[in-house]
Structure 1
């Protein structure tokens, strides 16, 4: 007759697998700031490594384009010009009035309306070329004007939860699947452990097996998120890391968060 305690091994292993995976995810995200003191300080893995991860993102992006100027050209600067012109033109008369009243209020007050109208018209005609020249000049000197890593480091210092929000918004289903996988893998390994205990009931087997199951469930959880790097075919399935297969969505979330 099979001992009831033996039957509980897969159940306990499944619960332990779920709990350890859930705890691993929580410890990756929290606490956002360091807690404790001295040797007993802890901060979530993602907030702690956020700056390093962000710099890797930047380095990889720039390697693809060559430099920041080349990356900027991929943004289609002419669209930036069109956007700026469309936003400025409706209020250009107002901007001119404001500037002239500050510089030459008496002259502007006494200027005939027809001359004012010509100034408005000329400014509107020249605006696109001026904005285009400004945008081109900005793009040509972008490497000197902008330090992406410094900007991102400052942003992450001000908002250490930024990387947490990235992963949570980009992959809530994936994170949930990883936690739930702990129960499935833990239960399956628990069955193996129970079988091993049935044939070899030694005192060290269950504790050692429990540690092994905890390690395997956590290792699989992390691996499942980020490996394999590239999509691979296995029979009828395409296999790739859960987050890696969602790179377009993650890129979109990342762009919105840092914009």
Structure 2
């Protein structure tokens, strides 16, 4: 039974180690130390930053995102949608200004404000994209976008990325546990014939749990370069799959993080909505000045918590959501123009092994020793149960 028992131990300790790498997403237990949170969700901020650094240094030139995007094409597709939103957005904001001013401005002057806003915002979309192409870093915060999409309430996304990219390696870890644990179990059975002392079994359990976890993790990433022993050639499993992993990693990032919608939300939807609201406010103030009306638009003077400010925020949200909901065709165009997946894949598959390895290993590296120790502890527990059983029989 020893080979079967330790085959199970090797498999079980490796499975537990993997699960504890990714789950639970939130800390379970009594904080700060009595409990557990998956290594990846716990280190999500740091891992996301590593992903950003790898991408910006080796895989992506942010300027390439927009080099093929035509501002005139965007204006043709998008500006009519924005124009249709101007009347309702203007009336919404004017309706929530100082009641004394509102009474005069709504009495025949509301349409003047709408026309002025439409004139001033006639090329908002084109102007924003021209600014983006001229100076990407001042408009598009790539780092901030990736961090928001992979951390906080979106932490499950970074877990999914690592699980998808390393799915074959994780299966190997499980199978390696069975095979190596079984082989060590045979050695244990032989040793038991010569040294049938029950307390040696927990010690052997520690060794088996440690070795199976350590060997499995090592074989995934080492050696970086192909080695040969006689006719046998071998290399780290993850490194050997570089092209396949690159394709999957690029696809996951392009479809879950750096989507055309996410990029447009960052550079266009909210920016266009804010520009619109700021223009409405400016034109409303200009109309009040022309009519010699005294007083501020915001009657409450409560800063960020006033009804007027809350209305502006709500209008920005509505306009942004309306733009996002009406731009499927535009997002398809942007996705093709940016070619994120294709560009990432081409560069990633050609990375040297030293730079490719951290893409998956960063999920384990800082706490690798914890995963190996978990295997040792679980192996010791099983060995102790074995020892008790041997005494009983």
TM-score by length of 2: 0.49
Task: Tell whether the 8 Å contact from 1:54 to 1:152 is kept in structure 2 after alignment.
Answer: yes
2:28 paired with 1:35:
yes
Task: Tell whether the 8 Å contact from 1:223 to 1:241 is kept in structure 2 after alignment.
Answer: no
For 1:217, the equivalent position in structure 2 comes to: 212
Q: CA, structure 1 residues 93+12, in 2 after alignment: closer, same or farther (shift >3 Å)?
A: closer
Task: Tell whether the 8 Å contact from 2:63 to 2:133 is kept in structure 1 after alignment.
Answer: yes
Q: Offset at 1:72?
A: 1.5
- Which residue of the other structure, out of 127, 131, 151, is the alignment partner of 1:137? 131
Q: Offset at 1:89?
A: 2.8
Secondary structure of the 2:238 match is: coil
Q: Offset at 1:20?
A: 0.7
Q: Offset at 1:146?
A: 4.0
Once residues 212 and 200 of structure 1 are traced to their aligned partners in structure 2, the CA distance between those partners, rounded to angstroms, is: 16
For 1:58, the equivalent position in structure 2 comes to: 52
2:249 paired with 1:250:
yes
**Deviation sequence 1:26-51 (CA, Å, 0-9, x none):** 11111100111133131011111121
Q: Offset at 1:214?
A: 0.6
Once residues 15 and 78 of structure 1 are traced to their aligned partners in structure 2, the CA distance between those partners, rounded to angstroms, is: 55
Task: Tell whether the 8 Å contact from 2:14 to 2:213 is kept in structure 1 after alignment.
Answer: yes
Once residues 35 and 258 of structure 1 are traced to their aligned partners in structure 2, the CA distance between those partners, rounded to angstroms, is: 27
Once residues 169 and 67 of structure 2 are traced to their aligned partners in structure 1, the CA distance between those partners, rounded to angstroms, is: 38
Once residues 224 and 146 of structure 2 are traced to their aligned partners in structure 1, the CA distance between those partners, rounded to angstroms, is: 27
**Deviation sequence 1:144-168 (CA, Å, 0-9, x none):** 3344444433331121212211122
Q: Offset at 1:143?
A: 2.8
Secondary structure of the 1:159 match is: helix
Once residues 134 and 105 of structure 1 are traced to their aligned partners in structure 2, the CA distance between those partners, rounded to angstroms, is: 26
2:70 paired with 1:81:
yes
Q: CA, structure 1 residues 71+232, in 2 after alignment: closer, same or farther (shift >3 Å)?
A: same
Consecutive unaligned residues of structure 1, counting only runs of 5 or more, are 1-7, 110-122
TM-score by length of 1: 0.70
For 1:170, the equivalent position in structure 2 comes to: 165
RMSD: 3.6
- Which residue of the other structure, out of 1, 9, 12, is the alignment partner of 2:5? 12
Number of paired residues? 227
Once residues 185 and 15 of structure 2 are traced to their aligned partners in structure 1, the CA distance between those partners, rounded to angstroms, is: 18
Once residues 81 and 176 of structure 2 are traced to their aligned partners in structure 1, the CA distance between those partners, rounded to angstroms, is: 61
Task: Tell whether the 8 Å contact from 2:10 to 2:212 is kept in structure 1 after alignment.
Answer: yes
2:173 paired with 1:182:
no
Secondary structure of the 1:230 match is: coil
Q: CA, structure 1 residues 141+91, in 2 after alignment: closer, same or farther (shift >3 Å)?
A: closer
Secondary structure of the 1:242 match is: helix
Greater mean alpha carbon deviation, residues 164-173 or residues 241-250: 241-250
Once residues 37 and 247 of structure 2 are traced to their aligned partners in structure 1, the CA distance between those partners, rounded to angstroms, is: 29
Show the 5 A alignment for 1:98-117. none
Once residues 173 and 219 of structure 2 are traced to their aligned partners in structure 1, the CA distance between those partners, rounded to angstroms, is: 8
